[in-house]
């Protein structure tokens, strides 16, 4: 009887430990630090559905926008590191410590990078007021001839515009809007010369002929707009600016969970159907290892620091 009780006790103690190793056992929360409906939200929902099929557990998207992604990122940074709360991070993790709002966490110690998922170029488009700018070379020539005269509208892309114009060696008057739609509308109406937004945002207006695409800011042309040149190929490699999304987990997440997430993320990026669906929207699937994602974050922060120093901007304290 004593031996039987000891055996039952050992089984009872072993069962939870065994179960804990079989991640995942319950729904996973994917925090998207943006409002619903935007490009990152679209990516997050498609990625969540892929993870659900791959891992066999529901992956619930939770939109927690605000404070330039700091609110959603902080939720994940302070979450239990058990693999059940994840962040669909973006380049603002590198930008906010330099330009503000200053995050209440250190992105390099608060998270375990899992992998890069997508990269999306920005597109600069001209409205009727700036019909003379048909190519990247036109834009640079006209802007250098009249520094600060020409206007470019965006939905809070101050950092992107500042970094891009510094790379081009030009000065534009940036007009900020609360959303991409009014910025695009004013460009179409001739209230501003140009607008800049992610390719998926401006793609419909370009296809309908309401805006003229001057160039994209990626390293190469966008696969969905193959006739539109990139600034890099046009002789301006320092103007490259892209928006990326990558998966992060709270620091200290178990290795087994991280490895499964890394494998699932790599499978997502390599999936042909996923690639077709993303590219149709102007989004490029882009993979990277955890180490490469961490290096990308550090490289972008260094670039932001260099731009801020050149502009005489002090990082928030």
Bin 83: left if φ > 0, else alpha if -120 < ψ < 50, else beta. Answer: left
Same domain, 232 and 132: yes
219 and 263, same domain (yes or no): no
Shared domain check, 292 and 222: no
Q: Residues 186, 253: one domain?
A: no
Do 130 and 229 have their domain in common?
A: yes
Q: What confidence tens digit (pLDDT) does each residue in 288-304 have?
A: 999 999 999 999 999 89
Query: What is the structure's pLDDT at 37?
Result: 87
Kindly state whether residues 127 and 234 are assigned to the same domain.
Answer: yes
- Domain identity same for 127 and 194: yes
Sign of CA dihedral 87, 88, 93, 94: positive
Q: Residues 93-124: pLDDT tens digits?
A: 999 999 999 999 999 999 999 999 999 999 99
Encode pLDDT of 120-170 as tens digits. 999 999 999 999 999 999 999 999 999 999 999 999 899 999 999 999 999
Q: What is the mean pLDDT of residues 218-234?
A: 95
| Helix residue spans in 56-117 (DSSP H) | 70-77, 92-99, 107-110
For residue range 256-278, list pLDDT tens digits in order.
999 999 999 999 999 999 999 99
Same domain, 130 and 115: no
* For residue 217, pLDDT beyond 60: yes
* Single pTM value for the model: 0.87
For residues 257 and 227, state if they share a domain.
Answer: no
**Torsions phi, psi of 224, nearest 5?**
-90, -15
Residue 259 and residue 253: Cα distance in Å, rounded?
10
Q: Is 241 helix (H, G, I), strand (E, B) or coil?
A: coil
292 and 265, same structural domain? Answer: yes
Q: 3-class DSSP state for residue 51?
A: helix
Whether residue 5 is contained in a domain is answered as no
At 100, list the tokens: 């503000």
Percent of the chain with pLDDT over 90: 85
Total domains in the chain come to 2
Please tell me whether residues 114 and 252 are part of one structural domain. Answer: yes
| Domain around 260 | 26-120+242-311
């Amino acid at each position: 009887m004593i031996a039987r009780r000891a055996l039952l006790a050992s089984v009872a103690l072993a069962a939870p430990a065994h179960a804990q190793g079989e991640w995942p056992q319950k729904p996973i929360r994917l925090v998207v630090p943006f409002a619903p409906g935007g490009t990152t939200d679209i990516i997050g929902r498609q990625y969540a559905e892929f993870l659900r099929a791959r891992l066999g557990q529901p992956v619930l998207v939770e939109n927690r926008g605000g404070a330039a992604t700091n609110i959603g990122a902080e939720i994940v940074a302070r979450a239990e590191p058990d693999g059940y709360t994840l962040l669909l991070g973006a380049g603002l993790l590198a930008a906010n410590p330099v330009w503000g709002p200053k995050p209440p966490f250190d992105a390099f110690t608060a998270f375990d990078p899992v992998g890069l998922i997508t990269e999306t170029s920005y597109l600069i488009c001209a409205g009727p007021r700036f019909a003379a700018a048909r190519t990247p070379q036109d834009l640079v020539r006209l802007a250098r001839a009249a520094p600060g005269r020409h206007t470019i509208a965006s939905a809070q892309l101050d950092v992107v515009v500042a970094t891009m114009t510094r790379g081009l060696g030009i000065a534009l008057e940036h007009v900020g809007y609360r959303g991409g739609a009014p910025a695009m509308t004013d460009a179409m109406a001739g209230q501003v010369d140009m607008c800049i937004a992610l390719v998926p945002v401006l793609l419909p207006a370009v296809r309908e002929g309401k805006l003229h695409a001057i160039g994209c800011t990626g390293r190469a042309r966008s696969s969905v707009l193959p006739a539109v040149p990139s600034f890099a190929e046009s002789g301006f490699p320092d103007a490259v600016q892209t928006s990326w999304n990558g998966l992060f987990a709270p620091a200290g997440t178990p290795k087994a969970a991280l490895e499964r997430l890394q494998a699932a993320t790599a499978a997502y990026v390599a999936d042909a159907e996923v690639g077709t669906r993303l590219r149709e929207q102007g989004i490029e699937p882009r993979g990277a290892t955890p180490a490469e994602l961490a290096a990308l974050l550090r490289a972008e922060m260094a670039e932001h620091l260099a731009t801020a120093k050149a502009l005489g901007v002090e990082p928030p304290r």
